[in-house]
Structure 1
Amino acid sequence: MVSGSADYEYLLSLRAVRERCFRVQEAAVRNKLNHFDIDPSKLQDMVQFVVSLIKRDYQDDTSKIPCHGRWRHFDVGGRPRIQTLIQSWENLGVDALEQTRRVLDLFVVAVLLDIDPRGWVYQEKTTNRTYKRREGIAVAVLDMYMAGVFSMNPHQPHRVDSEALSNLTMDILLTGFQTKVLVGLQDRLELLKNLACVLRDRPDYFGGEEGHVPRPGNMMDYLLSHPTTIKTKKGPLIHLETLWPVVLEIGEMWTIQQEKSKGGTVGLGDVWECPALAGGGDQFVAFHKLSQWLVYSLIEPMEKLLGAIIEGTEQLTPLPDYSNGGLLIDTGFITLRKSDYDRGIQNYHLNSLLPGQPKVEVAPMFEMSDPVVVEWRALTTAYLDLVAERVRSVMKLNKKTLSLTQLIEGGTTSAGKELAEISRPNTQESPIVIMVIFPSKTPCNDPYIDRKYLFLA
Structure 2
Amino acid sequence: MEMETAEAQSSQCVAGVPPSVQPGVGQRKEGKELVGYLRSPSAIRDRCEQLFELALIGESHHFNCDLTQLPKVAEYVIDVMREQYPDLQIPFHSRWRHFEASGVQRLSQLDEKLAGLTPEEKAVAKFDLAIISVLLDAGAGESWYYHERETQLDFKRSEGLAVASFHMFCDGTFSSDRQTTPLQVDAQKLQALTEKELADGFGVNANNPLVGIAGRLKLLQKLGQALLSSPHLFGKENPRPGNLVNFFIQNSHNKQVAAANVLGAVLEGLSEIWSGRIEVARINLGDTWFHPRVSDDGLVPFHKLSQWLTYSLLEPLQELGLEITGLDVLTGLAEYRNGGLCLDLGLISPKHPEILLQSHSVASEVIVEWRALTVILLDRIAATVRDKLSMSAEELPLVKILQGGTWTAGRKIAAERRKGAVPPIQIESDGTVF
**TM-score after normalising by structure 2:** 0.87
Give CA deviations for 1:251-290 in whole Å, capped at 9, x if unaligned. Answer: 544643677x9xxx9721111122333xx43322110111
Q: Match of 1:326, as an amino acid?
A: G
Query: Which residue is equivalent to 1:286?
Result: 301
Percent identity over paired residues? 35
Q: Displacement, 1:187?
A: 1.1
Query: Which residue is equivalent to 1:325?
Result: 339
After TM superposition, the runs of 4+ consecutive aligned structure 1 residues lying more than 4 A away are: none
Query: Which residue is equivalent to 2:94?
Result: 69
The answer to whether the Cα contact below 8 Å between 1:105 and 1:215 also exists between their aligned partners in 2 is yes
CA distance change for structure 1 residues 258 and 221 in 2, over 3 Å: closer, same or farther?
A: closer
Alignment partners' CA distance in 1, 2:413 and 2:270: 29
Alignment partners' CA distance in 1, 2:181 and 2:51: 49
CA distance change for structure 1 residues 8 and 88 in 2, over 3 Å: closer, same or farther?
A: closer
Give CA deviations for 1:224-260 in whole Å, capped at 9, x if unaligned. Answer: 112xx124xxxx312334323320145544643677x
Q: Displacement, 1:69?
A: 0.3
**Which deviates further from its counterpart, 99-108 or 283-292?**
283-292
Alignment partners' CA distance in 2, 1:285 and 1:69: 24
The answer to whether the Cα contact below 8 Å between 1:161 and 1:213 also exists between their aligned partners in 2 is yes
Alignment partners' CA distance in 2, 1:310 and 1:299: 7
Alignment of 1:418-457 (within 5 A): 418-424=412-418, 426-436=419-429, 457=434
The answer to whether the Cα contact below 8 Å between 1:114 and 1:138 also exists between their aligned partners in 2 is yes
Does residue 1:147 correspond to 2:171, yes or no? Answer: yes
Name the SS for the 2:155 alignment partner.
Answer: strand
Unaligned runs of 5+ in 1: 346-362, 439-453
Name the SS for the 1:320 alignment partner.
Answer: coil
Query: Which residue is equivalent to 2:161?
Result: 137
Alignment partners' CA distance in 1, 2:233 and 2:224: 13
The answer to whether the Cα contact below 8 Å between 1:206 and 1:214 also exists between their aligned partners in 2 is yes
Query: Which residue is equivalent to 1:98?
Result: 121
Would you say how many aligned residue pairs link Structure 1 and Structure 2? 400
Query: Which residue is equivalent to 1:26?
Result: 53
Alignment partners' CA distance in 2, 1:456 and 1:216: 19
CA distance change for structure 1 residues 213 and 123 in 2, over 3 Å: closer, same or farther?
A: same
Alignment partners' CA distance in 1, 2:277 and 2:95: 30
1:115 to 118, 122, 138: 138
Name the SS for the 1:415 alignment partner.
Answer: helix
Alignment of 1:337-352 (within 5 A): 337-338=351-352, 341-342=353-354, 344=355
Query: Which residue is equivalent to 2:377?
Result: 383
CA distance change for structure 1 residues 190 and 308 in 2, over 3 Å: closer, same or farther?
A: same
Does residue 1:206 correspond to 2:237, yes or no? Answer: no
Q: Match of 1:24, as an amino acid?
A: L
Unaligned runs of 5+ in 2: 1-19, 22-26
Does residue 1:172 correspond to 2:201, yes or no? Answer: no
Query: Which residue is equivalent to 2:256?
Result: 237
Alignment of 1:243-262 (within 5 A): 243-253=262-272, 255-256=274-275
Name the SS for the 2:427 alignment partner.
Answer: strand
Q: Displacement, 1:456?
A: 7.5
Query: Which residue is equivalent to 1:197?
Result: 225
**RMSD value over aligned CA atoms?**
2.1
**TM-score after normalising by structure 1:** 0.83
Name the SS for the 1:42 alignment partner.
Answer: helix
Q: Displacement, 1:22?
A: 1.6
Rg bigger for which structure? Answer: 1
CA distance change for structure 1 residues 225 and 12 in 2, over 3 Å: closer, same or farther?
A: same
Alignment partners' CA distance in 2, 1:315 and 1:294: 15
1:312 to 326, 333, 337: 326
